Every structure is written in structure tokens, then in C-alpha cells.
Structure 1
Amino acid sequence: MSKLWCALLLVLTQLHRGRGCPGPCQCFSPAKVVCADEAMTALPLNISAQARELIVVASGVTHLDGRSFREDLRLSKLVLLNGQLRSVSGDAFERLRELRELEISGNPLLALREPAFASLANLTTLMLNHNNIGALAARIFEALQKLERLQLKGNGLLSLPGRPFHRLPNLQELDLSFNQIDSLPADVFQNNSLLRALSLQANMIPQLPEGIFSHLDLLEELNLRGNRIRELSADVFPHSLRKLILKSNHLAQLHPSLFHKLLLVTHLDLSQNQLSGVPANLFQNLISLKKLDLSENRITTLPGTVFKGLFGVKAIHLQKNNLSSLEEDLLKDQHGLEQLYLSMNRLRRVPHGFFDDLDYRCLVQLHGNPWRCDCGIQYLSEWIRDNLRNVEDVTQVYCHAPEFIRGHSLVSVDEERLVCGKNSSSSDTNSTGIAVDGDGGVHCSIRDFKGQTTIQCKLTKCTSVKFQALFEFGDGSDSERVVSKEWPAPAGCANGTTMAESQFTPWPPWG
């Protein structure tokens, strides 16, 4: 900032202070006062009667009572943030009857007396986050019938007394995340029919009582991340949900009809659970789904119809599972997919045509799989080469087998080397052994796969290999044509015991 601007700011500050702004505060408008002073042990009483917002940050104020505010003060917003506030008496806000928004967050506040909010009948927003309150009085919020937004994050709450939200009929947002709640009464939200967003993230909840959300017909967002939920009943979730987060729980299996009522849900997060599989029709009614996250589970296989009918889905995350194979028609309906994450699984190949229905802009993750780079991966190799921009970390898509190209990036491997060896189970492969004279430690076989003939030789001793091929057509012509190529001994050979394996495709295709 230039010296001119600094000087102008200083002048403006002094002007505002000259109009009755308290010393430790800044008053850049008559209606808004901001105070930040660790030495301030009491709220300033000489605040202008025009002030409507008072924001106090990092102050030394430790206690609030009925004398903390002037009688003629007409605040609509009060914020006490990251200070030293330890106690609030029952009459602390008695003179602030026009208050609509109150935040007390980041203070060592251990308790709130039950009548503390009794005079705040006009309050619509109350935020009490990260104060270590520990426990709530049963009727602490009873007078706040106009309250629409309530946050109680990070207070170490162990339980909820009775029905603390029963007299909050206008409540639309409730955040109870980052506490230690280990049980929920079945009727805890019974009188909160206008609730639209509910967060119970990072608690210790093991199960959801039957009917706990049955009265929440307008609930759109439900966050249950980071609890200990092991099972869910089929009708536990309200049909109004648009975003459901079940990440990082202990779910090992899901009821086939668990999500059948959720026609409006657009985001479903089931990541970081213990799922080994999902029912074939689990997602069949999720016609509005945009993002599905199944990552970091233990899924080994997926039914070919599991994503059937999900025409609008934009992202499917399957990374960090145990997938060893994929059904050919798994993505048949996903023409608009923008993200497909398959990294960190156990995939060795994908079915021919697997990616053909994807949008040309779809971003795909494939790294971290033990790809077998033989004839069965030719489709994937060609698709990657044609869609390099669509594959994230494409150079990290490594071959795990066969041994002679292990560790090579798939895009760097010549397609002529993607051939099937003696362990191929393909019915299209014919194999014949070749006798090799002498004791040079070379054992070869010749194979034909879909018109391409391959010589594979296994070396049992450290030696160089020279290959010569004589081509002769059925009519006896061209019998003198010879192709010759020599391979040096494998790197690292020091004695006659090193084992190596090489595959030669001297003239693909030939026969």
C-alpha cells in the first residue's frame, strides 16, 4: 500500500474515532464497529447509538453480564470471536432485544446458563462454535422461536439433552459436527420440519434410530461423515435429500432399497467405508445423480447394471478399491461422464470397447493398477494413445507384467510388443515348442494369436541371442528371404545363472 493511501486511511480512522468511536475500535461506518485488542477487558460503553453491528476479535473480555451493554444500544449483530470469554450470565443480553445474529466462537466458554438467550426472541442466527461448552441445558434455546440457523460445532458435546431443538419450529440449518455425540434420540428433530441442512459430521454415532428423519420432508443436505455407523435401515432417509454424505463410517453392506426414494439426490458419498460390493439395483432410482463416490472401500467387483439409468451422472469415483475386473457394459449409459477414477485398484485389463461410450472430455484415472501388457490390453493401449489429454498422470500407467516390460509406462511400449505368451488363456492362441540345439540356455516357443505370430524365448543362462527367420510361402516362393536380429545378454549378467525372459516379434504379422 502506498504512503498516500496509508495516510488517507489514518485520517479516516481518526475522523471516525473523533465522532465517538471507542479507542480500541475501528468505525468505518456509523453502523459497524470492529474492536480487536487483547488488553480490552470490558466491552466499550461509549459506542454510538447508531451502531448496529459490533464485532469483537481476540479481546481480553472474560465475562458478560447485564452491565456489558448500554440500555439504548440497538444492535442487530454481535460477534465475539477468538477471545478469552469464559462465562455469560443469564441477563447478559437483556438489553439487546433487537439482536438478530449472535456469534460466540473460539472462546474458552465452558457453559451457558439456561436463561442466557431468554430475551433474544428476534434472533435468527446463533453460532456457538469451538467453545468447549461440553453440555447443553435442556431448555437453553426455548425462547428462540424465530431461529433459522444454529451452529454448535466443536464443543465436545457428549449427548443431546431431551429435545433441545423442540421449540425451534423455524430452524432451517443445524450443525452439530465435530463433537463426541454417541447416541441420538429418535424424536430429537421431531418439531424441525423446516430443516434443510443437517450436519452430524465427526461424532461417534453407531446407528440411526428408526424414523429419526421421518418428519424432515424439506431436508436437502445430510452430512454423516466420520461416524461409526455400521448399518442403515431401508427407509431411514427422507425423499427430499439432494446431498447425502456417508463417508468414513463402518458400512460393510447396504440394503438393496436403501436409496430407492432418493429421486432428487445429486451427490452421494460412500467413500472410506468397508464395502466389498454393492447390490446391482442399489442406485436404480437415482435419476438426478451427478456425483457418486465409492472410493477407498474394498469393492472387488461391480455388477454390469449397477449404473444403469444414471444418464446424468458427471463423476464416478472408484479409486482405491480391490477391483480386479470390469464388466463390458458397466458405463453403457454414462455418455456425459466427466470424471471416472479407477486408479489404485487391481485391474490387469479392461474389456474391449469399455470406454467407447464416454464423452471426449471425460477425465480418467488409471494409474496404480497392475496392468498386464500383453495382447489383452491392446484396446486400452490404443484408447490411451487416442485420448492422452483425458488420462490423468498418463505416464504413471505402468505395466506390471510380463516381466520383460515391467515398470514401463504403457504409452511408451511399442504396440508390437503387446503379445500373449505361453500363459495366455485365449482360445485364439496356438503354441508350438521349438527345439534349440546345444546347451546355450535358450528355450523358445512359437505362438499365433489372431494372425500375428510371435517367438518367445526364455533364457536360463547369461547369453546373447541371434534370431534368423526364413520365410517360405505355400507355393515355395521367397524361400530365400531371411530376417535377422541379435539381442545382447541382459543387463546385469555376471555369471551363468541369471534368468531373463525376452519376447521377439520379428515380423508382425507373418506366417
Structure 2
Amino acid sequence: MDREPPLILLLALLLCGRGDPDQTGCPHRCHCFTPDQVLCTDGGMPYLPRNVSRTVKEFIVISSDLQYLFPHTLMENPHLTKLIFINNALRSVHAQAFHHLAELQELEISGNPWLDGLHAGTFSSQGNLTTLLLNFNRITTVHPGTFDSLRRLETLQMKGNAVSQLTAPLFLHLHSLRVLDLSQNKIQGVGRETFSGLERLEILRISYNLISNLTSDAFLEVPQLEELHLEGNQILELADNIFSVLTDLKVLNLRGNLLTTFSDKPFGGQTSSLQELNLKGNRLTSLSSLTTFTSLSSLILASNHMSTLPEDVFRNNTSLEHLDLSENQLISLPPTIFSGLCGIKSIYLNQNNLSRLDAKLFEDQEFIQQLHLSDNHLETLPPGLMDPFVSQHTVRLHGNPWRCDCHLGYLHDWVLRNGAGVEKLDRMLCQSPAFLSRKPVASVGKEQLVCWGSGDQMLDLQRCSQEVHNDTVIIRCKVDRCAPLTLKVQLLQDDGAVKENTFKHQPEDPVCRNQTGVDANR
């Protein structure tokens, strides 16, 4: 959403020049890298230089104090093919300012915070124009007829203005237009007539506006669309079949809207050629079948409110390479949810509420390259979970409450073998037991991964007391007269080594020996 820095253009021009610019005959306060090109970047220049050669083809003005373009301003330069004004102080452009520039092919008037409109006939002589950029001004209204003469126009950008309404048929005569960018305005709605005449349009950007509702026929006039960008609006729902006419659509970006559910119904249930679908940052709580998206390679569902997913939701998405489910509220995943996704390269499941995973969850993901499981509620991973991975890969596992006991053996061994592929390995920490808390999993010795007894095998620690005298610890436990007891004391040293001492207590009371004999004869 940031403005494109004019310095990039300036640097590109400087790099393209061969040697030092020849300033002979070059206008004052400007640079001429070739006889056909003039670049003026003086911040104090209030008007255009008057001694610009009639043979000049490209005239570029950046960051000047120029405020007005009059009918005579460019009269002496009829052979211009490229005219660029970026980050100037323009307040007004006369309707006849470009009247003499019939050869113009590229025109940009961008970055003028006081320019709030253009006259309907401003481009009446620009029949050869192929590119028109009107970005980051303060244009509030575009009058009908403004673009009627631009029959060869291929790219029209008006992003970053304050246009609230598109009066149809505004683009009726732009039959050659392929790219239309209306993003970052205040447009509240679009309908079928909005895009009348744009039968060759391939890329439409109307992102970051105020659109809350799209009529079911909104895109009937642009059947050749390959990219549709609707991110950053306030769209609540999508009508059935709204995209069914867009049979060539490859990219659909709906990021940052207010959708609560999504399915393939807006595509009419027919097989879609869609390759990239972005639904990040909506309010999705449910996701229905996506079976018609057989060509889908990238699916972004991050930053939504989903807690569960249907087992077959990705069943036909066998072309999928990138799947982002991060920053949701997923508590579990069906064991076969990724079945058939053999070509997938990246799966992001980080920042969810996952507490366990099925051992066969990634059974078909042999060639995965990135797997993010960080920042969940995982305490351990089942044996064999990541064994299918045969290609070089990176994994993120940090931010989980790892329980470093006997159940972590598989993950511990896997991390030691594949540590180079575990990103942020030093942040993958044990949370329990207490004596290993905050220690990196990779630094824990295998002999430290032990489990406490459970049930009737576990000593009732409430019957034990502890006393500490200087460097001496005394533990007193009450035990049954005939109960054997083995006490192991493990001393964890600074280097991670463990020194263990064992104390065994065997009952010596004859009654206990007799009791043992009775039990043995039963």
C-alpha cells in the first residue's frame, strides 16, 4: 500500500546511462542522458523549462514545485512518447494541456496531493496511449467520457485516490485494456455496468476499498479475467455463481474481508482453473468442499477462526503445493486430511491449538520442504510422524509445551538426526518435568527422558517430607511394613550429565517373608 518511491525510477535511469550525461543544450536544472531524454528533479522548479528540444521523446519531472499544466506548457514538444510527473505539486491540469501530444504512448501523473480531478477531454488527443498512471493523487470524481479516446490503452492505474463512485459506462471504449487498478480508493460497490466494454481485461485490482456487497452479475462483462484482487474490502458473503463466468481465472485474492464461510458455490460447482486462492484474515469458521479446484497450487487460509476442518476438504486439490492454515483455532486434524497431496511443498500449521497429531498425518508428503508446527499445544509427537519426508526440508517446532519424558524419545532422536533442518532449534524447549523446564530439547540426554510411575505403582508423595540442612537433603517417607522400596536419586550437573544413586529397601520382618510365600503359592 506504500507509494512507489521515485528514487527507484531515478536510479534506474542513472544506471541505464552510458557515461556522464551530455549537458550540451540540456535545460537548466535538468539532466539529459540521451538527446531524446530529459530528467528534471529540482525541488525548487516552479515551472517546466522552456528550452526543451522538439526532438525529445521522454520527459520526466520528479519532485518539483510545478502546480499547473496550461495549454501552452508542452506545445513545443509534439514528439513526446513518454511523459511522467511524479511527486510534484500539481493542482490543476488544463483540458488542452496534452492536446499537441498525439504521439504520446505512456503518461503518468502520480503523487500530487492537491490534484482532485481531471477534465473530461483531458486525453482527447491520446489515441496512441497504451499506459496511463494516475496514482496517489486526490482524485474524487472521474467524469464520464474521460477515457473515451483511449482506444489503444492497455494499462490504467488509479490507485491511492479518493474515488467513491464509478459512473457507468466509464470504461466503455477501452476495448484494449488488459490491466485496471482501482485499489486504495473509497469505492463502495461495483455492478455489471461498471466494467462494460472491458472484454479483454485480464487483471482487475479493486482492493482496499469499501466494498461490502458484490452483485451476482458483477463480473459478467470481464470473462477474460485471469487475476481478481478484492483484498482489504468489507465483503460479507459471495453470491452463488458470481465467478462462474470467469473460466480463465488463475488468481483470486479475498484477503482481509469479512467472510465467515467459503465453498466452491461461487464458481457454480464447475471445475475451476484457479491456481492461487488467498482467504487470509477473514472470519472463516467453516470451510466446505473445495473439490472443483483441481488446479489449485496455493491456498492461504491463515488468520481465520476455524477450529475444525472436514476430512475430505482437500480431497481433489492434488495440485496443491502451498497450504497455509496458520493462526487459526484448530484443535485437531483428521488423520487423512492431507491424503493424496503428494506434490505439496509447504504446510503451515503454526499458531493453532493443536495438542496431538496422528502418526499417519503426513504419510503422502514425501517431498515436503517446509512444515511449521510452532506455537501450538503439542507435548509430544507420535513415532513415525515425519519418517515419510525424503527430500531436504525445514521444520519449525518451537513454542510448544514439550513434555520431556519417555514419550518424547521419537522426537528427541529425530531432532538430533535432523537438527540442521529445524529452524530456531534453541527455542524448542522442554516445559516439563520441572527439572528440565526451559532446557532445549536437543540438549537433553536420552537417559533423562524418563517417566514417573502411575496408579498403584506410584509412591504416595503426600506421605513424604523433606528437610534441607545446608548442602544436605533429607527425605522421610512412610511406607507399608511389607512394601519394598527402590529410591533413585538423580543429580543433574551443569554440563547436562546425570549422576544416579540407588537405594533399595527390602522388608526384613518374618511376617512379610511368610506373606510373600503365601502369595507365591496361590
The TM-score, its normalising length taken from structure 2, stands at 0.76
1:343 corresponding residue in structure 2: 374
In the alignment, the residues of structure 1 paired with residue 81 and residue 218 of structure 2 have an alpha-carbon distance, to the nearest angstrom, of: 30
Kept in 2: contact 1:174–1:198 (CA 8 A): no
2:457 corresponding residue in structure 1: 432
Tell whether 2:92 aligns with 1:87.
yes
Give the direction of change, closer, same or farther, for the CA distance of 1:396–1:261 in structure 2 (3 Å limit). Answer: same
In the alignment, the residues of structure 2 paired with residue 304 and residue 145 of structure 1 have an alpha-carbon distance, to the nearest angstrom, of: 56
1:309 corresponding residue in structure 2: 340
1:464 corresponding residue in structure 2: 473
Tell whether 2:102 aligns with 1:77.
no
1:116 corresponding residue in structure 2: 122
2:10 corresponding residue in structure 1: none
In the alignment, the residues of structure 2 paired with residue 151 and residue 130 of structure 1 have an alpha-carbon distance, to the nearest angstrom, of: 10
1:228 corresponding residue in structure 2: 258
Residues 420-451 of structure 1 show CA distances to partners (whole Å, capped at 9, x for unaligned) of: 2246xxxxxx8524589996449xxxxxxxxx
1:134 corresponding residue in structure 2: 140
Which of 109, 114, 117 does residue 104 from structure 1 map onto?
Answer: 109
2:299 corresponding residue in structure 1: 268
In the alignment, the residues of structure 1 paired with residue 353 and residue 41 of structure 2 have an alpha-carbon distance, to the nearest angstrom, of: 53
Q: Secondary structure at the match of 2:457?
A: strand
In the alignment, the residues of structure 2 paired with residue 114 and residue 221 of structure 1 have an alpha-carbon distance, to the nearest angstrom, of: 33
Give the direction of change, closer, same or farther, for the CA distance of 1:103–1:266 in structure 2 (3 Å limit). Answer: farther
- Which range moves more in the overlay, 191-200 or 389-398? 191-200
Tell whether 2:272 aligns with 1:239.
yes
Kept in 2: contact 1:180–1:203 (CA 8 A): no
2:208 corresponding residue in structure 1: none
In the alignment, the residues of structure 2 paired with residue 81 and residue 419 of structure 1 have an alpha-carbon distance, to the nearest angstrom, of: 68
Identity rate, percent? 39
In the alignment, the residues of structure 1 paired with residue 458 and residue 377 of structure 2 have an alpha-carbon distance, to the nearest angstrom, of: 32
**1:174-253 equivalence runs, <5 A:** 174-185=180-191, 186=215, 187-232=217-262, 234-237=264-267, 239-253=272-286
Give the direction of change, closer, same or farther, for the CA distance of 1:263–1:374 in structure 2 (3 Å limit). Answer: same
Q: Secondary structure at the match of 1:387?
A: helix
**1:355-374 equivalence runs, <5 A:** 355-374=386-405
In the alignment, the residues of structure 1 paired with residue 460 and residue 305 of structure 2 have an alpha-carbon distance, to the nearest angstrom, of: 52
In the alignment, the residues of structure 1 paired with residue 488 and residue 245 of structure 2 have an alpha-carbon distance, to the nearest angstrom, of: 80
1:477 corresponding residue in structure 2: none
1:171 corresponding residue in structure 2: 177
In the alignment, the residues of structure 2 paired with residue 391 and residue 292 of structure 1 have an alpha-carbon distance, to the nearest angstrom, of: 19
1:67 aligned partner, one-letter code:
H
1:62 aligned partner, one-letter code:
Q
Give the direction of change, closer, same or farther, for the CA distance of 1:172–1:300 in structure 2 (3 Å limit). Answer: farther
Residues 259-281 of structure 1 show CA distances to partners (whole Å, capped at 9, x for unaligned) of: x3333332222212222232222
Give the drift of 1:212: 4.2
Residues 113-156 of structure 1 show CA distances to partners (whole Å, capped at 9, x for unaligned) of: 33333332322222222223234335433333333223232223
In the alignment, the residues of structure 1 paired with residue 72 and residue 450 of structure 2 have an alpha-carbon distance, to the nearest angstrom, of: 86
2:520 corresponding residue in structure 1: none
2:440 aligned partner, one-letter code:
S
- Which range moves more in the overlay, 396-405 or 173-182? 173-182
Give the direction of change, closer, same or farther, for the CA distance of 1:179–1:247 in structure 2 (3 Å limit). Answer: farther
Give the direction of change, closer, same or farther, for the CA distance of 1:484–1:353 in structure 2 (3 Å limit). Answer: closer
Q: Secondary structure at the match of 1:377?
A: helix
Tell whether 2:397 aligns with 1:391.
no
Q: Secondary structure at the match of 1:376?
A: helix
Give the drift of 1:375: 1.9
In the alignment, the residues of structure 1 paired with residue 250 and residue 94 of structure 2 have an alpha-carbon distance, to the nearest angstrom, of: 36
- Which range moves more in the overlay, 239-248 or 430-439? 430-439
Give the direction of change, closer, same or farther, for the CA distance of 1:387–1:486 in structure 2 (3 Å limit). Answer: closer
Give the drift of 1:184: 3.4
Give the direction of change, closer, same or farther, for the CA distance of 1:50–1:241 in structure 2 (3 Å limit). Answer: farther
Kept in 2: contact 1:248–1:273 (CA 8 A): yes
Kept in 1: contact 2:263–2:289 (CA 8 A): no
**1:496-507 equivalence runs, <5 A:** none
Which of 412, 421, 424 does residue 443 from structure 2 map onto?
Answer: 412
Residues 272-307 of structure 1 show CA distances to partners (whole Å, capped at 9, x for unaligned) of: 222223222222222322211121122222222222
1:478 corresponding residue in structure 2: none
Which of 12, 17, 28 does residue 23 from structure 1 map onto?
Answer: 28
1:236 aligned partner, one-letter code:
P
In the alignment, the residues of structure 1 paired with residue 462 and residue 311 of structure 2 have an alpha-carbon distance, to the nearest angstrom, of: 57
Give the drift of 1:386: 0.5
- Which range moves more in the overlay, 198-207 or 57-66? 198-207
Give the direction of change, closer, same or farther, for the CA distance of 1:125–1:327 in structure 2 (3 Å limit). Answer: farther
Give the drift of 1:325: 1.7
Give the direction of change, closer, same or farther, for the CA distance of 1:65–1:313 in structure 2 (3 Å limit). Answer: farther
Kept in 2: contact 1:343–1:366 (CA 8 A): yes
1:299 corresponding residue in structure 2: 330
2:317 corresponding residue in structure 1: 286
Give the drift of 1:353: 0.5
1:28 aligned partner, one-letter code:
F
Give the direction of change, closer, same or farther, for the CA distance of 1:437–1:63 in structure 2 (3 Å limit). Answer: closer
In the alignment, the residues of structure 1 paired with residue 304 and residue 325 of structure 2 have an alpha-carbon distance, to the nearest angstrom, of: 9
Kept in 1: contact 2:52–2:77 (CA 8 A): no
Kept in 2: contact 1:34–1:55 (CA 8 A): yes
In the alignment, the residues of structure 1 paired with residue 239 and residue 120 of structure 2 have an alpha-carbon distance, to the nearest angstrom, of: 28
Give the drift of 1:316: 1.1
Alignment gaps of 5+ in structure 2: 1-13, 192-214, 477-485, 503-522
In the alignment, the residues of structure 2 paired with residue 420 and residue 413 of structure 1 have an alpha-carbon distance, to the nearest angstrom, of: 14
The TM-score, its normalising length taken from structure 1, stands at 0.77
Give the direction of change, closer, same or farther, for the CA distance of 1:135–1:210 in structure 2 (3 Å limit). Answer: farther
Give the direction of change, closer, same or farther, for the CA distance of 1:433–1:420 in structure 2 (3 Å limit). Answer: closer
Give the direction of change, closer, same or farther, for the CA distance of 1:138–1:252 in structure 2 (3 Å limit). Answer: farther
Q: Secondary structure at the match of 2:409?
A: helix
Give the drift of 1:45: 4.0
In the alignment, the residues of structure 2 paired with residue 207 and residue 190 of structure 1 have an alpha-carbon distance, to the nearest angstrom, of: 18
**1:145-160 equivalence runs, <5 A:** 145-160=151-166
In the alignment, the residues of structure 1 paired with residue 344 and residue 190 of structure 2 have an alpha-carbon distance, to the nearest angstrom, of: 33
Give the direction of change, closer, same or farther, for the CA distance of 1:504–1:441 in structure 2 (3 Å limit). Answer: farther
Task: Provide the aligned length of Structure 1 versus Structure 2.
Answer: 446
Kept in 1: contact 2:490–2:499 (CA 8 A): no
1:55 corresponding residue in structure 2: 60
In the alignment, the residues of structure 2 paired with residue 385 and residue 486 of structure 1 have an alpha-carbon distance, to the nearest angstrom, of: 23
2:48 aligned partner, one-letter code:
L
In the alignment, the residues of structure 2 paired with residue 192 and residue 43 of structure 1 have an alpha-carbon distance, to the nearest angstrom, of: 41
- Which range moves more in the overlay, 320-329 or 172-181? 172-181
Residues 30-80 of structure 1 show CA distances to partners (whole Å, capped at 9, x for unaligned) of: 222211122222333432233222221101112224322125522222221
Alignment gaps of 5+ in structure 1: 1-5, 424-429, 443-458, 468-481, 492-502
2:64 aligned partner, one-letter code:
S
